[in-house]
Amino acid sequence: MTDVGILGTGAYVPERVVSNDEVGAAAGVDDAWITLKTAIKERRFADPGQATSDLAAAAGRAALASAGITAEQLSVIVVATSTPDHPQPPTAAYVQQRLGAVDAAAFDVNAVCSGAVFALSAAEGVLARRGGHALVIGADLYSRILNPVDRKTVVLFGDGAGALVLGPNRRGSRIRHLALHSFGELAGLIEVPAGGSRLPCDQATLDAGLQYFAMDGREVRRFVQEQLPQLTKQFLHEAGVVPDDISHFIPHQANGVMLEAVVADLALPHATTHLTVARYGNTGAASIPITLDAAARSGAFQPGELILMAGFGGGMSAGFALVEW
């Protein structure tokens, strides 16, 4: 198969806009505090009748339209999510059905907020053997797993989905390099303790609030600040490029204040950093493809420019993609 490129992008965010004052009320914080700590001004929450697959399918449709192909042309659908519709079957199966992608294999990837890059790597591997086109979707609906009184987490997250269509490159675009990393010794820094085989949900876990998302924010920040610069440097060296070559940087939209410090440490002198965190908050696996779609639709990318995508999240995990537009 020829080189794989990104042929189209798409995104979907729910209609409901949630302000800082609304989300912070139960947690005892206000707009000024949230803005100071996160640079987030608002986020979107899904309607009660919406599930992750609904958001994912909507983003997928937008990406297919952007790429100019139909769902019947897809060989594979990979959905990155840590908030699936159900523990099983995979959320991707519902997406396949809703899109009518009758010839596509469909499966999920869970690398939390690094998920979109992990899914991109998985899909590229499938296309290398099978050919055709792939739909990669990052989708998360965090509003359902947030503890409303935990100010460390409830103010950060929103719901959304972003999607990419991969296929034989056009106009020279291609995925130049990918790298994935996991740090299992740090798995406890980000978790939803109850609901799996280790600790099934029962009345005791519900009473203890163990069904909610939990994060050691201080240690997560330490991980990102210590690991991301050196991993980025290593990735660029492996890809055969230097920081000056990068035109655009799309990081996981974790926290706007933290990203400002991280971007300074990365020292990408000619790169435009694209951010959507102020409008949408942290949308988990959706944040990189949502931001890529926003930049692409704004006309920010020129043919031949290099785009660096960097995901980091639970596991702990980190994923990097270098794309030539």
Q: Which residues are catalytic?
A: 113, 252, 282
Number of Cα atoms under 13 Å in the Cβ half of residue 289? 40
Q: Give kind and range of the element (H or E) at residue 311.
A: strand 306-313
Place of tokens 């965190």: 277
Residue among 72, 67, 59 at smallest CA distance from 137: 59
Q: Which are the contacts of 189, defined by CB distance < 8 A and separation ≥ 6?
A: 215, 216, 219, 220, 223, 314, 316
Angle between helices 287-297 and 115-130 (to 10 degrees): 80
Instruction: Give the distance between the most distant pair of CA atoms in the chain.
Output: 57
Query: Residue 211 is encoded by which pair of tokens?
Result: 């069904």
